Chain A
Amino acid sequence: MKLAFIVATLLVLLALPSVAQPYYVTLVLPAFAYAIALLGFNLLFGYTGLLSFGHALFVAIGAYGAAVLSSKLGVRSFELVLLLSGLAAVAAAVPVALLSVRYVRIFFGILTLAFGMLFHSFLFKFYDLTGGDTGIRVLRPSLFGNGYEALDKTAFLVGPFYYYCLALLVALAIAMWRIVHSPFGLHLAAIRENPRKAEYLGVRVRFFRLIAFLISAFYCAVGGTILAINTGQADPELAYWTHSGELVFMTVLGGFASFFGPLIGAFAFIFLKSELMGATQYWRFWLGAILVLIVVLFPRGLVGIGQALWTKVRRA
């Protein structure tokens, strides 16, 4: 059943650029980006039990990495951009994580929030380096050395770039699937369930939290590079705390207790936001109201709703 659902979704996503309007296809790109970022985010939140309110920091590092590499250093290879931006995020995550993983719950959340805001101020104030509030332009990358110069921007995004990102999402999802089902993943779950007991069973709690944090930073940065290439711009808003909040929102919306929840949450959020923004200027209010309803009525998110419906259908 699960497998059938995954295959069907993949087929729809593969066919989408040929059947849907380009506008909707360009909406799917940020959904891919967030889906990748949330795979990492949820390793920390759903699997390790640490809720970060600052992970937009790493999304922003990915975006600025793409911007600096493409506009300032002339690096056009998307593979290189992904790798270098991801490693930059991991490097930045080391000090953040070293300090943050000493704490749990709200203290962890507040510390990560503080780091996120610190980076946001840095992007905002160091105008010469970061372009201040306007940010830095992100140039179109080459994919496997191919620049696709013949295609205009939209054709590039909804064509080769779309498929590249889909393949990236699938590859990174498989890697994450293996991680959460590995012995390492089981240790993370043990840390989430009972860190003290885990310690007495020889689990290096802080060290593993650190590794989970670094992996999550890498995934968020990959998501950030895709976002930036899609909009052609890296700006400080990406690092703002509300953006970190959106990562939490999407994860809770989809359901953090499930592997696929955050992926579904990313897609649902992007389309919900786009539809609500088109329908009303009070879209933030409605998004908030939906989140409240989900948390109160369906703490397991959309996946939980789906599972409940499925059991009902099967019983009927």
Chain B
Amino acid sequence: MTALIATEGVSRSYGAFVALDGVSLSIAEGELVSIVGPNGAGKTTLVNVLTGLLEPTAGVVRFKGEDIAGIGPVRLARRGMARAFQLVHIFPALTVAESIAVAVISQTGRSLRLFACAKKDAALRARVREVAAIFGLEAKLDSEARLLSQGEKKLLDIASAFALSPEVILLDEPTSGVSSGDKHGIMRNVIDAAGRAGVKAIILVEHDMDLVAEYSSRIVALTAGKVLADRPPAAFFSDPEIIAAVVGKRVGKLAQGA
């Protein structure tokens, strides 16, 4: 298996503060890798480096073999990596169809068609429908995004990222702000959609150990900017020391159960 994404000795410091310290990891096709760790462990910095938003102060970050240090979100999207945020990011006044179309337009290189009619573009509409259907949003195509329920907004946020036809998708706490009853529904929906959409790997940043335990194929734990553990869920949750370091007491009972 070749690595889709790989970092080698990635460090990032802000002045004297070292947020990431020699992080090496690799993510291959077919994996769902969760990144966990206590607040301040460097998760966000790592995610920003992985998505080309931040340039590491040392080390290399590669996506499909190419250096992506600091290339920025637009070019990253073009190369096949999409990102959905922890807080819901939507276009409040755009409809569901328009929101998804934004991604389809950039992915298919339609964005400089100044005088074409977006609504009459049959291929565009078909693709928008297809993506909306995967997330169960077909009935809401003409609703403004701001009028959706919180769970639907979350789905729309993720759906628009999927509309880029990415090879890798990075989900930053995809179920935060969603009721605990919905969270598994959303996760299953996303993983299922990823399979159908040809997504090759998923990176999940998550606090919720339930989800991490259930869906990950591998877990990377960060503490103080370093990789503390990088192993499959069974091995991860059977090591109480790691769990204590990552999540404190909260998951004590989960560790026993796993």
Residues of B within 8 A of A201 (CB): 77, 82, 102-103, 106, 160-161, 163-164
Q: Report the number of A-B residue pairs with Cβ-Cβ less than 8 Å.
A: 101
Q: Which of A178, A194, A199, A208 contacts B73 (CB 8 A)?
A: A199
A40 at interface, CB cutoff 8 A? no
Identify which of residues 106-128 in chain B touch chain A, using a CB-to-CB cut-off of 8 Å.
106-107, 110-119, 121, 124
Given contacts A190-B91, A193-B92, A196-B89, contact A184 B112 (CB under 8 A): yes
Tell me the count of chain A residues lying within 8 A, CB to CB, of chain B. Answer: 25
Shortest C-beta distance, A124 to chain B (Å), equals 36
B218 at interface, CB cutoff 8 A? no
| A45-72 vs B, Cβ < 8 Å mask (1 yes, 0 no) | 0000000000000000000000000000
- Give complex CA distance A280, B77 in Å: 59
Measured CB to CB, the nearest residue on chain A to B145 is A193
Residues of B within 8 A of A203 (CB): 74, 102, 106, 111
Measured CB to CB, the nearest residue on chain B to A186 is B118
- Give complex CA distance A205, B91 in Å: 14
Tell me the count of chain B residues lying within 8 A, CB to CB, of chain A. Answer: 39
- Give complex CA distance A190, B104 in Å: 13
Residues of A within 8 A of B213 (CB): none
A95 at interface, CB cutoff 8 A? no
Q: Name which of B73, B121, B160 has the most chain A CB atoms within 10 A of its CB.
A: B73
B94 at interface, CB cutoff 8 A? yes
Given contacts A197-B90, A199-B73, A200-B82, contact A184 B113 (CB under 8 A): yes
Do B114 and A197 touch across chains, with their CB atoms under 8 A apart? Answer: no
A221 at interface, CB cutoff 8 A? no
Measured CB to CB, the nearest residue on chain A to B88 is A197
B140 at interface, CB cutoff 8 A? no
Measured CB to CB, the nearest residue on chain A to B89 is A197
20 contacts between A and B (CB under 8 A): A181-B119, A182-B113, A182-B115, A183-B101, A183-B111, A183-B118, A184-B114, A186-B98, A187-B102, A193-B94, A200-B83, A201-B82, A201-B163, A201-B164, A202-B78, A202-B106, A203-B102, A203-B106, A205-B74, A208-B111
Known contacts A197-B85, A202-B77; 15 further A-B pairs (Cβ under 8 A): A175-B115, A178-B117, A183-B101, A183-B111, A183-B121, A184-B112, A189-B91, A189-B93, A193-B94, A194-B89, A197-B90, A199-B72, A200-B82, A201-B106, A202-B106
